[in-house]
Structure 1
Amino acid sequence: MGSVAECGAGCLFSENLRNDCGAFTLSRYNLQTKGINMFRIIGTTALTLAMAGPAFADAHAANPSMTEMTEEESAQLIRTRDITGGPIYSVSANYAEESWMGDDYETAYSYDTMGYGDNLEQIGEIEDIVLDRNGQMIGIVAEVGGFLDIGDKHVMLRVDDVRLVPVDDKTYSFVTRMSEEQLEEMPSVNEAWYN
């Protein structure tokens, strides 16, 4: 066997770098030394990962107080199923800018205050709720006009034009300051419009 030589990349080759078929050959010394070193590197890496895993998980465990919701927070939530399919009413005949923009609009336009039929005219049905990409509600899609789903159309009402009012403890409705005629003049929207 010849002496061992080192190439520019640090590999150890036997003195005769090519065998009879022209392929490079590595010395027995090189394979044994590099193999042991590689085994040590892989073993050390595996041991480090095994020991760091539980520590990483412990440091990033969810704080129970962060994930649990209080009763007060839970009471403020409204599910969309409690809204969609519900009626939308117009208060255009009794619209007052100061109460519409005020903080007490829920009281001003509630069913107890306005009453059914006299001051609240049902003009449509809530079909969908529209959110922006940040999850913020930007409007509702209402079905207006028509009779028995014949001749009706879907229009989008922006948040500024509607107010959410409770019907009872479990269901909600929207009231709008717009009249039925104004809604029917709005452009139709369909699935492709907001997808």
Structure 2
Amino acid sequence: MTRLITTTALALTLAAGTAYAESHSNGAKMEQNLENAGENLENAGENAAQATENAAENAAVATQNAADDAARAIDDAATSTASAVDGMTENDTNMIRARDILGGTIYSANSQDGVAEFQTVTYDSVGEDWDKIGEIEDIVLSSDGKIQGVVAEIGGFLGLGDKHVFLEMDSVKLVPVDDASISLVVGFSEEQLENMKDVDEAFWE
């Protein structure tokens, strides 16, 4: 009986020791897990802070680049405007005012048959054999400010019997007459111009 009790007590002691060991091991694992979780949380916080800092730096760089681009665009526009103004004040021959064209004479390089290859011919002065066939009545611009063509007053006498036709810019050429006026030359014959459709004045009014 004494041996049975002793054996039982020993078994209980071993069981208790094993349970304690397992409990201690589980506690150590839990403590390690908590430490790992804490480290992961700390790392996540550091990563978030770094990402925020990087985003702020990138945004600052992008803003600076945009500001630099805008400044360059303004400088370019100012330079272009200044160049145009300088050209006008220095009588740049590449710039023409509307008043130098309006009322100018329109010539036909060949009023009988026209000029078949008009686009390939260059004129730098009024030809002696050109025929005066009309005057520049108006200049037509598109809504974005680009010159589309001119309205030509053809034929007639003292404003009677004349007609107005629209000539696109690729069908006319500017010819300097002197330092103050510009004429137009066309490759159309007088008959071809007379057969063109009249400008609908009501459209412009």
Q: Work out whether the TM-score is over 0.5.
A: yes
Residue 65, structure 1, aligned to residue 75, structure 2 = no
In structure 1, the residue matched to 2:108 is 90
CA gap 1:151/1:97 in 2 versus in 1, 3 angstroms: closer
In structure 1, the residue matched to 2:162 is 152
- From 69, 78, 97, the counterpart of 2:96: 78
Give the aligned length.
130
CA gap 1:169/1:158 in 2 versus in 1, 3 angstroms: same
Residue 123, structure 1, aligned to residue 137, structure 2 = no
Amino acid at match of 2:177: V
Q: String of CA shifts for 1:29-71, please: whole Å, max 9, x gaps.
A: xxxxxxxxxxxxxxxxxxxxxxxxxxxxxx79x6453431244
Give the alignment of 1:100-111 within 5 angstroms.
100-102=118-120, 105-107=122-124, 110-111=125-126
Q: Give the SS at the match of 1:128.
A: strand
Q: CA deviation at 1:185?
A: 1.1
Alpha-carbon distance between aligned partners in 1 of 2:100 and 2:108, rounded to the nearest angstrom = 19
Runs of 4+ in 1 over 6 A off after TM superposition: none
Q: Give the SS at the match of 2:156.
A: coil
TM-score normalised to the size of structure 1? Answer: 0.57
- From 167, 172, 178, the counterpart of 1:162: 172
Q: Give the SS at the match of 1:76.
A: coil
TM-score normalised to the size of structure 2? Answer: 0.54
RMSD: 3.0
Amino acid at match of 2:123: E
Q: CA deviation at 1:129?
A: 0.8
CA gap 1:194/1:75 in 2 versus in 1, 3 angstroms: same
Unpaired runs of 5+ residues, structure 2, are: 1-70
In structure 2, the residue matched to 1:193 is 203
CA gap 1:143/1:66 in 2 versus in 1, 3 angstroms: closer
Structure with bigger helix share is 2
Residue 141, structure 1, aligned to residue 151, structure 2 = yes
CA gap 1:96/1:151 in 2 versus in 1, 3 angstroms: closer
Amino acid at match of 1:86: G
Alpha-carbon distance between aligned partners in 2 of 1:194 and 1:125, rounded to the nearest angstrom = 19
Q: Give the SS at the match of 2:123.
A: helix
Amino acid at match of 1:122: K
Alpha-carbon distance between aligned partners in 2 of 1:187 and 1:94, rounded to the nearest angstrom = 19
Q: CA deviation at 1:142?
A: 0.6
Alpha-carbon distance between aligned partners in 2 of 1:80 and 1:125, rounded to the nearest angstrom = 14
